[in-house]
């Protein structure tokens, strides 16, 4: 039995009780597009017109803010921000050629932004940049091969090193998860569907494993599977279905911290692999992780609001501080949206998947409602604490709420 199959077996045996917030009455704003766009417009007041970036936050978060904005355009089908995004992303690329620096996760955030932008514009420049970053990780030996390294008694195949610095030993969940997500998204963007249904997909995967000639798209798919398998094999906590941060290979030591964005990216990669292969194990795993995340009281208030109550939460912290952690929870929200969209697109026969989609919609709307009632000054500015009280807006806090807005537009049918 494979690692994925073992995790799925546990998932299928787990019963998820309906949380109290699942039946809360929520009124979605009548003009949600305008509410979402106003949040973007306020965020863009911090735009540095020379660099293309955003004042007050760092390089990788520039990519995340623009990703949320791109997803908003995709979900509204209006593309109000496409010209601005095209200009600013190209300016940002002048900071680092091909968006590549020594941090592999940074490069991958940018590659995913480029791929999302390609998907709504068709501009080949963005697709090319995403492919270059993917190849960079392979060529820089940042992706562990089969039997290449063993840590904590497990093969590191598919795991990705955090940086390209000489002697780097940290193989971490966020870099590996982003690589899996980029790989499967590149597959979905570039493969040529053929007749033969779902079995043709598994036939192609068999050729990859045997070493036969396969297309670049099939190489992307195999890379995605391999990296997700590393996550489940090496850093997945079966007791609560959360993703731990990584493995220090030089110390043979597991880092057990559980950040919201690690689990979020794993949910997204697993959901997308279901879309790519029709293998229901991936959907079962993604839904199970999502259910556990939405019930995790270290992250979620009793009223269903995602506040990240642990190290990245409020806990007396200065809301004005330049703090990357404010945006971690936004990535989880984004990929709950990914799972919702995959279920929407694929229309699986399993009624539990459809029930999961309804719970995801309610969760997103609960969090949208909290922003509008407890976490704003009424001027389209939002603070870092999603359950309130509103203290002050920052570039970090405004950026994080962009993902709530994009997800809300998605689950409410672009209304």
Distance CA 381, CA 402 (A): 11
Distance CA 357, CA 350 (A): 11
60: its two tokens: 């990788």
The burial of 201, by beta-carbon neighbours within 10 Å (0-12 exposed, 13-18 middle, 19 or more buried), is given as buried
Distance CA 235, CA 255 (A): 9
Distance CA 388, CA 328 (A): 17
User: Which of 259, 239, 114 is closest to 174 using CA atoms?
Assistant: 259
Distance CA 18, CA 21 (A): 8
Tell me what pLDDT residue 207 has.
42
In the three-class reduction of DSSP (H, G, I as helix; E, B as strand; rest coil), residue 317 is classed as coil
Tell me what pLDDT residue 203 has.
43
Tell me what pLDDT residue 398 has.
97
Distance from chain centroid for Cα 182: 10
Q: How many CB atoms lie within 10 A of CB 216?
A: 13
Tell me what pLDDT residue 209 has.
41
In the three-class reduction of DSSP (H, G, I as helix; E, B as strand; rest coil), residue 210 is classed as helix
Tell me what pLDDT residue 210 has.
39
Tell me what pLDDT residue 101 has.
98
User: Which of 334, 335, 361 is closest to 68 using CA atoms?
Assistant: 334
- The low-confidence residues of the chain, meaning pLDDT below 50, are 195-212
Quick: pLDDT tens for 251-261. 999 999 999 99
Tell me what pLDDT residue 318 has.
73
Residues 6+ apart with CB under 8 A from 153: none
pTM over 0.85: yes
Tell me what pLDDT residue 323 has.
72
Q: Which residues pair with 254 in a beta bridge?
A: 247
């Amino acid at each position: 039995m494979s690692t994925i199959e073992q995790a799925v077996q546990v998932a299928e045996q787990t019963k998820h009780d309906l949380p109290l917030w699942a039946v809360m009455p929520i009124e979605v704003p009548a003009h949600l597009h305008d509410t979402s766009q106003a949040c973007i417009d306020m965020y863009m007041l911090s735009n540095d017109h020379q660099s293309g970036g955003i004042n007050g936050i760092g390089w990788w978060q520039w990519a995340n803010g623009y990703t949320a904005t791109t997803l908003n355009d995709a979900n509204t089908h209006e593309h109000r921000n496409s010209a601005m995004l095209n200009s600013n992303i190209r300016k940002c690329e002048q900071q680092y050629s091909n968006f590549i620096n020594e941090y592999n996760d940074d490069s991958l955030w940018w590659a995913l932004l480029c791929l999302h932008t390609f998907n709504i514009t068709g501009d080949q420049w963005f697709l090319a940049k995403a492919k270059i970053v993917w190849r960079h990780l392979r060529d820089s030996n940042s992706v562990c091969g089969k039997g290449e390294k063993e840590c904590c008694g497990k093969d590191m195949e598919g795991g990705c090193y955090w940086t390209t610095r000489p002697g780097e030993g940290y193989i971490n969940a966020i870099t590996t998860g982003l690589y899996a997500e980029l790989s499967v998204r590149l597959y979905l963007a570039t493969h040529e569907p053929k007749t033969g249904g779902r079995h043709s997909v598994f036939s192609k995967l068999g050729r990859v494993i045997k070493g036969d000639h396969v297309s670049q798209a099939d190489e992307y798919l195999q890379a995605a599977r391999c990296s997700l398998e590393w996550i489940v094999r090496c850093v997945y906590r079966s007791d609560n279905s959360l993703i731990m941060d990584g493995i220090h290979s030089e110390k043979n030591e597991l880092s057990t911290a559980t950040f919201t964005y690690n689990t979020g990216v794993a949910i997204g990669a697993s959901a997308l692999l279901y879309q790519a292969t029709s293998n229901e194990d991936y959907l079962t795993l993604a839904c199970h992780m999502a259910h556990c995340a939405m019930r995790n009281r270290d992250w979620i208030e009793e009223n269903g609001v995602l506040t990240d109550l642990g190290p990245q939460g409020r806990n007396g912290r200065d809301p004005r501080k330049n703090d990357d952690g404010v945006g971690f929870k936004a990535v989880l929200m984004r990929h709950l949206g990914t799972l919702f969209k995959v279920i929407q697109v694929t229309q699986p026969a399993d009624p539990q998947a459809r029930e999961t989609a309804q719970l995801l919609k309610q969760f997103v709307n609960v969090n949208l409602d909290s922003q509008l009632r407890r976490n704003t000054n009424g001027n389209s500015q939002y603070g870092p604490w999603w359950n309130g009280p509103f203290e002050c807006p920052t570039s970090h806090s405004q950026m994080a709420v962009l993902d709530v807005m994009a997800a809300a537009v998605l689950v409410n049918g672009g209304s």
